[in-house]
Structure 1
């Protein structure tokens, strides 16, 4: 199961994401929700199967519950992401937050952490790299979701050149919370999550796929070339060195 389940979930997730740009309207929103659910199950299941119940529980506590808490705070107060509101297209809400949103934090937090394990030796450096990678992913996520009308900002300026509708402060808020999330995850898991494992390969593939498919989708299918560039450069600063290292020294799956 350790080998089969993560690959099966990853395959289903990739297939769902391939279908996404080929759809529109309610079907596209449904595929968005399905993608997040599959990603959540993949990350939590992988943490459980490879590092045990304590690590999976820590991931849920820091990323799922923490993600919900910071989103609820953001919707209620405008801190730390700016004043924004979610539409009703992503399913049921609690305190103004669609229930799938904290699942998305969890989905990408785990591969971001596992990637950082392979790029840095000290825990502070790993926390910084994992946070940077997770925050850089938002350079793809927010432009795509805002273009679909899933959420909107009250005051979306100043914005990055070519990426209207999202204030720069949102990205800074992502980075700040990502640091807190990764520090909490590292503290809660102890040494269990600090060890590189051969069975991490599906999560590294998820990390690379997310980057490459996002660049392609934004540049070609979604009509978002500026976010393809911003995300391609900044998330690439974390993803591409890992890919180069992996190519030089392959690890068995």
Structure 2
């Protein structure tokens, strides 16, 4: 498999992104928002794959996505069975199918946002290996400032012990940083060091849209709204997105 023509890949990615955004809006307005979780994650994954294929070629994009999915899935299985690295938690039976106690869409979410965070890191540090890994780990963990509070309020998973951030323990975010760094590492190997700095602006758009949509949702759409989560996630993801756009824009 070779490189998908950039125009075609971007058009496909834009289509998936548009439909995903519509689903996110519908989810925020629905009395049963959990029903939209699976479709939103599938569209997220498809969008990331399309944009990545245009930037890196279909084979590299598929390899990078698969590596991120498997890494995230392995971490989730370990977390469910042992409590490491995130802390003790368990999934409800809302998200199906599940393999080894982990919903498949959770693994796909690691893949989709893993590629988006990698694109952010590549823009921030295009030629610095460890700096890029750290930036990508931070960008991906920033998303969880939105993700965990939202999924907990929907009853998709529960924590055995309450934590300081909307009932989520600090160990969760330490675990996210660790697993996100591993995801950045495997994606780097899959994409290839020489392509780490290749522009992937479609993935930057995806990351930015996720930041904006989640901020608006927590600030004004969810009932009740949560300005603390809106500020924490919006400022953190927004900072990574702003820096990535600033570094990637032609001078």
TM surpasses 0.5: yes
Q: Deviations over 1:135-190 (max 9, x none)?
A: 01000000011011110011123x23xx2x21111011001110111012112322
Match of 2:196 among 190, 194, 210: 194
Bigger CA drift: 206-215 or 55-64?
55-64
Whether 2:12 is the aligned partner of 1:5: answer yes
| Residue correspondence of structure 1 range 68-79 to structure 2 within 5 A | 68-79=73-84
- 2:52·2:203 contact (CA, 8 Å) conserved in 1? no
Q: CA deviation at 1:113?
A: 0.9
Structure 1 segments, 4+ long, off by >3 Å, are 243-246
- 2:16·2:46 contact (CA, 8 Å) conserved in 1? yes
Which segments of 5 or more consecutive residues in structure 1 lack a partner in the other structure? none
Counterpart secondary structure, 2:180:
helix
Distance 2:173 2:102 in 1: 18
| Residue correspondence of structure 1 range 115-154 to structure 2 within 5 A | 115-120=120-125, 121-154=127-160
| Residue correspondence of structure 1 range 1-253 to structure 2 within 5 A | 1-25=8-32, 28-120=33-125, 121-157=127-163, 159-160=164-165, 163=166, 165-191=167-193, 193-197=195-199, 200-222=200-222, 223-245=225-247, 249=249
Taking a change above 3 Å as real, the CA distance of residues 142 and 39 of structure 1, as seen in their structure-2 partners, is same
Pairwise CA RMSD: 1.8
Distance 2:181 2:148 in 1: 19
Q: CA deviation at 1:201?
A: 2.8
- 1:92·1:98 contact (CA, 8 Å) conserved in 2? yes
Q: Deviations over 1:89-118 (max 9, x none)?
A: 112211110111000011111111111211
In the other structure, the counterpart of 2:3 is none
Q: CA deviation at 1:193?
A: 3.6
If the length of structure 2 is used for normalisation, what is the TM-score?
0.89
Which segments of 5 or more consecutive residues in structure 2 lack a partner in the other structure? 1-7
Taking a change above 3 Å as real, the CA distance of residues 92 and 169 of structure 1, as seen in their structure-2 partners, is same
Number of aligned pairs?
241
